[in-house]
Chain A
Amino acid sequence: MAELTYRDAVIRGIAQEMSRDPDVVFLGEDVAKAGGVFKATVGLYEQFGPLRVRDTPISEQAILGAAMGAAMTGLKPIAEIMFSDFFAVCFDYIANEFPKSRYMSNGQVKCPLVVRTGNGAGSRFGAQHSQSVENWCMMIPGLKVVAPSNPRDVIGLLAASVRDPDPVIFLEHKSLYPTKGEVPDGEIVDTLGTAKVLRSGKDATICALALMVPRALEAAEKLKAKHGIDCEVVDVRSLVPLDTQTILGSVARTHRLFTVEENPRLCGWGAEIVSIVADEAFYDLDGPPVRITTPHIPLPAADILEDIVLPTPDRIAETVRRSLQS
C-alpha cells in the first residue's frame, strides 16, 4: 500500500498496461519528451522508448484517426486529447468513426482503444478549457465512458479500459490530479460498468462522478454532523456501461435520490439516472429526485465566479437538507 497522487496513478496505470502488453502504444501532444501538460505521463517516454510513446503535432483528428487505424489492425492504442474541450475539433472520430465501425461492418471491424483526456473545471481556465463533456460521449451508442474519482480507480479502470475490446473515453479530472489516495501494491485491474457505494446511509442516495465524488462525501459528513441526515454516496465511475443495479439498490434502501453533476444542466447524465429510477423504482421513492448541477451557462474564468457555479459541498448539503426537511 502506498499513497499516490491521481496524476501519478495515471502514469502507473499506463506503465502497468504497457509493461504487460507490447501492443499497447501511446500518442498525444507533449506526452512523450515533455511528460504531458499536466505532468501525468512523466517518465513513460524514458521507460518505453520513442516507438511506443510518441509526440504528435497539434492535430487532434490525426491523433484519434491514427489511434483508430492502429486499433483496427491489431494495436491497443492509448490516445491523449489534452483538454476534453478539444473533443469538439475531432468529434468525427468520437461520434462517427470509433463507435459505428463495428456495427456498420456487421462485426468485421474492431476498435479497441482508449482516449484519455483532461476533463472538468476548477483551474480557472475559462469556458473552452474547463468543460465536463461526459454527456457528449454518453449519448453515442458504441462508446464506453469512464470517469474515475480517486487514484486507485484511475489505475484499475484505466487497465480495464485498455483491456476492453471497445472504444473507451477515459475522463481524468484536472482538479483531481494533485489529490492523493491509498493504492495497493501490484497489478490493479477493475471492472467497467461497476458503481461503488463509498458511504452507507439510510436517508438519501447521492450519485456523483469524478470531482463531485469527494464533494458529495464532504457534504454527507456535514449533513450527518449538523443535521443527523445519513446519506449513501454512490460513485457512478462508469456512465457506459451504467451500473443501474447498484443505484436502484441504494434508492431501495434510502428512498431518496440526488445526483451531483459538474456538467451544465441540460441532458446531463443525472437526468438519465433520474429517468431510470422514475421508471423502475418510482414506488421506492419518498420524494422527488433532485439534480444538483452547474447552471446552464458557459464556465466563467474568474475564481470567484467559477467557485459559485460548480456544485460545492455546502450547496449539495443544503439542497439535500431542504429537500428532506420540506
Chain B
Amino acid sequence: MATAKDRAQAKAGSGLNDDIGEQKRLELYRTQVVLREAEQRAYDLFLQNLVKGTSHLSLGQEAVAAGFAGAMKPGDLSFCTYRGHAHTLARGVPVEKVLGELMQRDNGLMRGKGGSMHLTSVDHGVMGSYAIIGAHLPIACGAAWRAQYKGDKDVSVCFFGDGTTNIGAFHEALNFAAVWKLPVIFVCENNLYMEYTPIGDVTAVPQPAADRASAYGLERILIDGNDADVVYRAAQIAFDKARAGEGPSLIECLTYRQSGHSRADPAKYRPEGELDRWKLRDPIKIYRERLLQFGVAERVIADIDAQVRKVVDDATEACKAAPPPPLDIIATDVYADGGWAWRN
C-alpha cells in the first residue's frame, strides 16, 4: 500500500485554493458527469443486449480522464486502452458517436468497424484505443518523437491500467522515452485490479507504476486519482515539463473501478465492503462537494446534471433509431487506396 510519504504527496495537491477557477472546475465537473452518465447508460444497454460484444467501463475513475483532458490543449494526443470510453468522451467526442459504436450502428465513431475496444477520433486527438495490453505505450512514444523532430508543441498522453505495468512493452517504452527525452506522459490508472486479480498479488512492488519510475530515471509520482483537481494539477506539471523539452513523466493515479472488468462482470472477487468504502470517495461526489465549497450554487450543479442526462438520453434514442452499418463497408479501408485488393 501507499507509504505515509505517498499519502502526503497524494494530498498535497488537493488543498483548497483558487488556482483552478470556477470555469475550469465546472468543465471538470461536467466532463465527469458525462463520463458517468454515458458509461452507466452503456452498462444498461449492455444488459438489454443493445451494446454488443464487450464493453469495459471506467465507472469510478472519471477524475483521471477529466483531469487530464482538462489540462490538454487542442492538438495534444490521447492514446487509450480498451477501457477507453471515458478518455474518448473526455476529449469531446459526442456521446452519440461512442454509444453508436458500442451498439454497432452506422452512426458509430467507426461505423461499427472497430467496436468498443478501438474507439478512435483523430479529429479530437484520440489516436486510438488499443486492445493489446501495452501496445500503445511505444506508439505514443512515436507520436512524441514526431513532435520532437518537427518542433511541434503537442504532447502525447498514454493512459493504461495497473496490469499494463507488468508487460514488456511498458518497460521498453519507459526506457525509450527517457533515453530520447520524449514529450510523452504515461498515466497509470491503478484501479487495484488486473482484470479479476488484485494487482498486488502479481506485482513485485507495492505501487506498480510509481515504484518502477526510478528504474527509468523518472520522478516517483503517486497521486489521488479520485480528485479531479489533484489530477488536473499533476497533469499541468507534466505537460509543462514535456513542452519544455524536459522529457517524459510517469504518473500513477490511485483510483478504483466501481464496475466489473468487462461486460456484466459482477466483480465477486472483491472483498466485502471494499466497494462501499471507495464509493465514499467517489470522484463525482468529491467534486460536487468541492463545487459547493467554492460557492457554486446547487442549482447550477443540478442544471449540469440535467443537461448531461438529456444529452445521453437523446444520444441513446438516436442510436436506437440508427441503422446497422451497410454491408458495402466490409472491405473498405484495408489499404490506403480505400479497398482490399492484394493481387491483380
Q: Do A and B bind each other?
A: yes
Residues in A lying within 8 Å of B, measured CB to CB: 25, 51-52, 54, 56-57, 59, 61-75, 77, 92-93, 96-97, 101-110, 112, 141-142, 144, 164-166, 193, 240-245, 276
Most buried by A among B169, B332, B336, B340: B336
- B149 contacts across to A, CB distance below 8 A: 25, 51-52, 70, 75
A245 touches B120 (CB 8 A): no
- B123 contacts across to A, CB distance below 8 A: 108
Per the bound structure, the CA–CA distance linking A93 and B130 in Å amounts to 11
The answer to whether A142 and B132 touch (CB under 8 A), given A62-B175, A65-B173, is no
**B190 part of interface (Cβ distance < 8 Å):** no
Per the bound structure, the CA–CA distance linking A310 and B342 in Å amounts to 28
- A54 contacts across to B, CB distance below 8 A: 180
- For the A-B complex with A62-B141, A75-B150 known, give 13 more contacts whose Cβ atoms are closer than 8 Å: A59-B172, A59-B176, A61-B173, A62-B176, A72-B139, A74-B146, A75-B146, A97-B139, A102-B336, A108-B110, A109-B120, A240-B342, A242-B344
**Distance of A28 from chain B, by nearest CB (Å):** 13
B172 touches A69 (CB 8 A): no
Task: Give the top 4 A-B pairs by smallest Cβ distance, nearest first.
Answer: A65-B138, A69-B142, A165-B336, A66-B142
- Give the bracket for the number of chain B residues in contact with chain A: 35 or more
- A144 contacts across to B, CB distance below 8 A: 335
**Distance of A281 from chain B, by nearest CB (Å):** 14
Per the bound structure, the CA–CA distance linking A54 and B175 in Å amounts to 15
Per the bound structure, the CA–CA distance linking A75 and B152 in Å amounts to 12
Which among B121, B137, B150, B332 is the interface contact of A107 at CB below 8 angstroms? B332
B333 touches A68 (CB 8 A): no
Per the bound structure, the CA–CA distance linking A157 and B173 in Å amounts to 31
- A102 contacts across to B, CB distance below 8 A: 333-336
- B140 contacts across to A, CB distance below 8 A: 69
Per the bound structure, the CA–CA distance linking A276 and B111 in Å amounts to 33
Per the bound structure, the CA–CA distance linking A241 and B343 in Å amounts to 5
**B144 part of interface (Cβ distance < 8 Å):** yes
A96 touches B132 (CB 8 A): yes
**Distance of B325 from chain A, by nearest CB (Å):** 9
**B161 part of interface (Cβ distance < 8 Å):** no
- 9 A-B pairs in the complex with CB atoms less than 8 angstroms apart: A61-B134, A62-B141, A62-B172, A93-B138, A97-B139, A101-B120, A103-B113, A142-B334, A142-B335
